[in-house]
Amino acid sequence: MKFGGTSMAGIERIRSVAARVKREAAAGNQVAVVVSAMAGETDRLVGFCREASPLYDPREYDVVVSAGEQITSGLLAIALQAINVPARSLLGWQLPIRTDTAFAKARIDTIDTDALEESFAAGAVAVIPGFQGVAPGQRITTLGRGGSDTSAVAVAAAIRADRCDIYTDVDGVYTTDPRIVPRARKLAKVTYEEMLELASVGAKVLQTRSVGLAMKEKVRVQVLSSFTGRADGDGAPMADTLPGTMIVGEEEIDDVERQLITGIAHDKNEAKITLTRVPDQPGTVASIFEPLAAANINVDMIIQNIAHQSASNGASSTSATDVTFTVPAADLARSIEALNQARETIGFGELIHDTRVAKISVVGVGMRSHAGVASTMFTTLGARGINIQAISTSEIKVSVLIHEDETELAVRVLHTAYGLDAEAA
């Protein structure tokens, strides 16, 4: 059972979580619980790091931001003990959850299950703080924002759990963020592949890596609400009675259930960088992206197509091109630094950056076999006067970059255009 930030926000909610855990344990299930920090807490801690220094050391950032989960895991253990459920917290380094050394976005390598097995054998509930691990050299790491989902799936995989129930503040995965489009429809099932793509383009209901891991390790993942049903002791609902979303293999979806477009996602956490007048010659693009890769910064959308002649009379003209790409907004300061350091090698004119952008994506396996998905997207946005700044596609996804202020409008009109709106009640 994994409980997200809103589910853990305050003692009353933690009591309600404890009641849900007790109910599952009382039914004879062996339960390990993974918890997030209280809602807003990780943002607050990240803010402190940025305030202390925009170019903070990721090692120390991890020490700071992992703290929120330490607090909630201890509090849930206390709340469980208070209702006579034996419980013990097991921090990332105690379990341990071993990761690589990519601080702030570490990947889990292995999970030692001895302590967990002992806790099961003793009839106790293990409460594991999500989001944190330990790197070689004993330094604390964190798994990237939203990483508690990945902690939960990784623990479930390590102990070969029957299921990994992700409890959050919505009762499942919807065709788009239900907080933006009230007419979004809940999906009873969604395939690993589509969920992976949806998560990777911004549907933050599950962290992307958690879905990738679940797919690889064949973990049954279910998304459920922790706000449904009574919150007290015996009245708390069991997972089996809750209507959530099951993440399934493609073979578990019938043809009738299959839609052309599964969902629409948005992501406001990217920043756009344009390098102007870079020489149009072999090796230039590599010289831009090498320093970013060396700094462990993931580049997402890339466009390089605004070629123009630098000399209008055609005399000694060398052609130059603008290169535009997006990086996580959180990595913008480090990206600018890395690019400026490589300025002479790259030979760019200006570096222009913009954080007021949003990426809107439509996802669906149906587009493999249907033409016109992208064109519907462009026509719909164009009709609303929404300008497209960049485009990228994959086999089952089309993404566009637009101005941030137009996010909600874009998601709504696309949701309608692809016929995803729920019937009005």
Residue with tokens 């790197």: 135
If you count them, how many residues does the chain have? 425
Q: Are strands 125-129 and 32-35 parallel, antiparallel or unpaired?
A: parallel
Chain centroid to Cα 113, Å, comes to 26
Considering the rule CB under 6 A, would residue 36 count as an interface residue with ligand ASP?
Answer: yes
Considering the rule CB under 6 A, would residue 181 count as an interface residue with ligand ASP?
Answer: no
Considering the rule CB under 6 A, would residue 203 count as an interface residue with ligand ADP?
Answer: yes
Locate all alpha helices (DSSP H) within 249-406, ordered by sequence.
284-294, 332-341, 343-346, 373-383
Considering the rule CB under 5 A, would residue 129 count as an interface residue with Mg ion?
Answer: no
Of 59 and 353, which CB lies nearer to ligand ASP in the complex structure? 59
Considering the rule CB under 6 A, would residue 5 count as an interface residue with ligand ASP?
Answer: yes
397 touches 297 (CB < 8 A): no
Considering the rule CB under 6 A, would residue 14 count as an interface residue with ligand ASP?
Answer: no
Give the residue at shortest CB distance from ligand ADP: 4
Give the residue at shortest CB distance from Mg ion: 146
Of residues 353-412, those binding ligand ASP (CB under 6 A): none
Provide the mask over 342-381, with x wherever binding to ligand ADP is found by CB under 6 A and - wherever it is not: ----------------------------------------
Considering the rule CB under 6 A, would residue 129 count as an interface residue with ligand ADP?
Answer: no
One-letter amino acid of 371: A
Q: Measuring CA to CA, which residue among 83, 97, 69 is closest to residue 16?
A: 83
Of 169 and 408, which CB lies nearer to ligand ADP in the complex structure? 169
Residue with tokens 């071993």: 98
Grouping H, G, I as helix, E, B as strand and the rest as coil, residue 99 is strand
- Is the sign of the CA dihedral 79, 84, 89, 90 positive or negative? negative
Strands (E), 226-368: 245-248, 263-267, 270-279, 302-303, 308-309, 319-328, 351-354, 357-363
Q: Which of 146, 202, 244, 263 binds Mg ion (CB under 5 A)?
A: 146
Provide the mask over 6-25, with x wherever binding to ligand ADP is found by CB under 6 A and - wherever it is not: xx------------------
Angstrom CA distances, 106 to 45, 94, 109, 242, 297, stand at: 18, 17, 9, 33, 13
Of residues 138-167, those binding ligand ASP (CB under 6 A): 145-149
Considering the rule CB under 6 A, would residue 208 count as an interface residue with ligand ADP?
Answer: no
Of 4 and 178, which CB lies nearer to Mg ion in the complex structure? 4
Residues in touch with ligand ADP (CB under 6 A): 4-7, 36, 146, 168-170, 173-174, 176-179, 203-205, 263
Residues in touch with ligand ASP (CB under 6 A): 4-5, 36-37, 42, 68, 130-131, 145-149
Residues in touch with Mg ion (CB under 5 A): 4, 146
